[in-house]
Amino acid sequence: MRQEIVKAAPAYTEFHPRWYRAPVSVYWWLGQWRYLKFILRELSSLFVASFVVITLLQVRALRNGPEAYSRFQHWLQSPWMIALNLVSFLFVVFHTITWFNLAPRAMPIWVRGKRLPEFLVAAPNYAIWLVASVVIAWFVLR
């Protein structure tokens, strides 16, 4: 006869028994500005998405005629929509600035064996943003 050794099932532990993991607070991201900036940047994507949804709703209202667009404009004038758009605008500006500052780190450019300084990579982004903003403002405000 063959004897089988029956082993007891290991007890459940939250972590691997040989690994030490220091307890981390749920609010770890409030400890340093760079962590908070990271979380706010991730959160800003929700507000970018809200701008996209509002723009799509505006296009739909335009397609449905003057009366539908008038209702849409009235809806946009409600206090909660103004507040949402203001908060969204601030988050979108924050998102844009952090994105432009991240671009030189995400895609380093080398010229003749030397890395181009970060401001030389980010500056064209800001310049194009400024030019595009001026052109759009000129069309909207004339």
The reported pLDDT for the residue numbered 107 is: 84
- How many other C-beta atoms lie within 10 A of the C-beta of residue 69? 15
What domain range is 53 assigned to? 24-88
Please give the torsion angle defined by the CA atoms of residues 84, 56, 95 and 30, in that order, rounded to the nearest 10 degrees. Answer: 50
* Tokens found for residue 72: 């849409």
Number of domains within the chain: 1
The reported pLDDT for the residue numbered 64 is: 95
Domain membership of residue 93 (yes or no) is no
The reported pLDDT for the residue numbered 6 is: 55
Domain membership of residue 2 (yes or no) is no
Against a cut of 0.85, is the pTM above it? no
Per-residue pLDDT in tens (0 to 9) along the chain, 142 residues: 555 555 666 666 676 667 777 888 888 889 899 999 999 999 999 999 999 999 999 999 999 999 999 999 999 999 999 999 999 999 999 999 999 998 888 888 888 989 889 888 899 999 999 999 999 999 999 8
The reported pLDDT for the residue numbered 132 is: 96
Q: Residue 54: which of 73, 33, 38 has the closest Cα?
A: 73
Tokens 């099932």 belong to residue:
9
Q: For the domain that residue 49 is a member of, what is the CATH number?
A: 1.20.1300.10
Which backbone phi and psi does 110 adopt, to 5 degrees?
-110, 130
DSSP 8-state class, residue 55: H
Domain membership of residue 11 (yes or no) is no
